[in-house]
Amino acid sequence: MMAAASTLSGLYPVVSTYKIYPESKLFFPSTAPSWPSLHLPPGHHSYLLPGLLLPLLPTRSAPYTKLEGAFEPPSQVRALLAESLSGCTLFQVIDHSGARLGEYEDVSKVEKYKISQEAYDQRQDSVRSFLKRSKLGRYNEEERAQREAETTQRLTEEKAQADAISVGSRCEVQAPGQSPRRGTVMYVGLTDFKPGYWIGVRYDEPLGKNDGSVNGKRYFECQAKYGAFVKPSVVTVGDFPEEDYGLDEM
């Protein structure tokens, strides 16, 4: 595992700190000029471990081994590591030039492979081709038809429930995991923010999430935190007067 921390170019040296295990391959970031990668001494199995951007501090059990100055990797650095490598080792690489700091931050400079949709469809070694041959995901006609049928049935049931709810009716909302909330129905129908049928409710208390608008579109008027949109299945219409908590007597 390795970690790196750096400072701004031109102000302070760029310091990168690494935590190296014997069974690893050392990877230098762009702040270490001309050191793209380095295999550890012979006899150590080499593979690249994921890096974590976390600062590492020296301890008595794992002091720093500092690499500073002009090196000709990989030979000199490999020899230096071989002298002190045991268990895991912490060491620093200090680049005073800052010449390659942020080299890959602008992804627009990175050359990208491009292919047209038509050419991609003709390839036989692509993920899309594999999914088509295996009839998986959206290319499984039977599964897709079943999902569409389930969606249609769910919308039909929601519409029937919504048709039984009228704007202006008193109601009680019993959402899973929440206490009952009373209010007035202010909106019934489809919305732009999510598919399906929704019931807009103005609660008697500030127990909602909005003021009757979502994503800039207004569906009804109410005070902030008094409005909410819920599914028809959790709404019961009936004689639900506002609850009196006796606050007027205090």
pTM comes to 0.47
pLDDT for position 98: 55
Q: By CB neighbour count within 10 A (0-12 exposed, 13-18 middle, 19+ buried), where does 138 fall?
A: exposed
The sign of the CA dihedral 38, 44, 50, 51 is negative
Q: Report whether 232 contacts 199 (CB < 8 A).
A: yes
Structural domains of the chain in order of their starting residue, each with its CATH number: 14-95 (no CATH), 170-237 (2.30.30.190)
Q: Report whether 137 contacts 131 (CB < 8 A).
A: yes
- As a whole number of angstroms, the distance between CA 94 and CA 15 comes to 5
pLDDT for position 102: 59
- As a whole number of angstroms, the distance between CA 154 and CA 150 comes to 6
Per-residue pLDDT of the chain (250 residues; tens, 9 = 90+): 333 333 223 333 334 444 444 434 444 443 433 433 343 444 433 333 333 223 334 444 444 444 444 444 444 444 444 454 444 444 445 445 555 555 556 677 777 888 899 998 889 888 888 888 888 877 888 888 888 899 999 999 999 999 999 999 999 999 998 999 999 999 999 999 999 999 999 999 999 999 999 999 999 999 999 999 999 999 999 999 987 755 555 4
- As a whole number of angstroms, the distance between CA 116 and CA 99 comes to 37
DSSP state, residue 24: S
pLDDT for position 105: 63
- Look at strands 37-39 and 25-27 and give their pairing: antiparallel
- As a whole number of angstroms, the distance between CA 128 and CA 77 comes to 45
- As a whole number of angstroms, the distance between CA 203 and CA 170 comes to 10
Distance of alpha carbon 29 from the chain centroid: 24
Ranges of beta strands (E only) in the chain are 14-20, 25-27, 37-39, 64-67, 89-95, 170-173, 181-190, 197-203, 213-214, 217-218, 227-230, 235-237
The residue length of the chain stands at 250
